[in-house]
């Protein structure tokens, strides 16, 4: 594991690094890197179960457990899901095919709806936006615990918002019940050390940390230094892999144009058809 100085330098680049406490767990968290290249090595038995146990140990709104996860290892099924994650320009996610497992993290109100129905209790809550939001947050909290557990076992992951591109087709393919949808996917496998992603720098803390009151001006000023830090990563990836990433602000600008949606503009319709009326 890298030293504190090395990890802070990797995470913040030339920006000011915070003066902070340190321990092995924090070091492990700062060591996170997304993996988009995997070895063809089978995942050790018991790993998925350990990862899900960690996920179940995350906070859960009202202890209602409003999430599920579908672990997809069948190559044919993974290939179909990979196709569904392609963008409108045909850009795919080849690491879905390389990864040993694709985890689909599901916001899932179906179990609790069934419990209410069995008792004859009218379900007047699950149609509201807050219920949809709670289930989505529960899935996200569980998934992040899963990432920490996976990395402790030598595995690596990549989150996949692209699983919402064709949310209705994904739900049908894996047989999701009503009142559930895939919030995001996550590839899982042993990373290829010859094709490791670079550390993605983050903005200095003055951008995201506010004390007592939100200070938009200070955050905007601090954000100016982030472009340089991000450019350093871009240059490293170009030199090592020949990748030409967009400048950070260019990527942000592109994210507010409709082409970025890649089908996700239909998500409201899909979740409403699946029982989330979003009142």
The pLDDT, as a whole number, for residue 182 is 99
Show Cβ contacts of residue 234 under 8 Å, excluding neighbours closer than 6 positions. Answer: 245, 247
Q: Which residues contact 81 (CB under 8 A, 6 or more apart)?
A: 72, 96, 102, 104, 163, 170, 173, 185
Average pLDDT, consecutive stretches of 10 residues, N- to C-terminus, the chain (279 residues): 93 94 97 95 98 98 97 97 83 89 99 97 95 98 99 98 96 98 98 90 96 97 90 76 76 88 92 96
**What is the structure's pLDDT at 40?**
97
pLDDT at 246: 79
CATH class of the structural domain 34-197+262-274: alpha beta
CA distances from 77 to 10, 25, 69, 174 (A): 37, 36, 15, 9
* Domain map (residue ranges) of the chain: 1-31+199-245, 34-197+262-274
Neighbours of 140 (CB within 10 A): 16
């Amino acid at each position: 594991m890298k030293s504190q100085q090395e990890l802070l330098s990797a995470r913040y680049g030339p920006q000011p690094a915070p003066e902070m406490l340190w321990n092995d767990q924090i070091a492990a968290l700062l060591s996170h890197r997304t993996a988009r290249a995997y070895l063809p090595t089978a995942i050790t038995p018991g790993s998925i179960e350990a990862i899900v146990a960690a996920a179940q140990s995350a906070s859960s709104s009202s202890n209602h457990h409003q999430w599920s996860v579908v672990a997809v290892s069948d190559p044919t099924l993974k290939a179909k899901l990979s196709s569904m994650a392609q963008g409108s320009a045909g850009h795919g996610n080849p690491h879905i095919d390389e990864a040993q497992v694709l985890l689909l993290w599901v916001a899932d109100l179906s179990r609790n709806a069934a419990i209410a129905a069995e008792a004859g209790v009218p379900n007047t809550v699950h149609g509201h936006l807050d219920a949809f939001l709670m289930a989505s947050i529960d899935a996200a909290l569980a998934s992040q615990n899963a990432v920490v557990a996976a990395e402790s076992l030598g595995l690596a992951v990549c989150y996949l918002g692209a699983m919402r591109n064709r949310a209705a087709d994904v739900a049908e393919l894996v047989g999701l019940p009503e009142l559930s949808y895939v919030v995001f996917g996550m590839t899982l496998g042993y990373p290829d050390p010859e094709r490791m992603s670079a550390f993605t720098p983050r903005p200095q803390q003055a951008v995201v940390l506010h004390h007592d009151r939100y200070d938009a001006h200070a955050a905007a000023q601090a954000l100016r230094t982030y472009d340089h830090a991000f450019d350093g990563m871009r240059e490293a990836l170009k030199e090592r892999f020949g990748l030409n990433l967009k400048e950070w602000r260019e990527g942000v600008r592109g994210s507010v144009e409709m082409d970025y949606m890649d089908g996700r503009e239909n998500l409201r319709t899909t979740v409403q058809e699946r029982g989330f009326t979003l009142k």
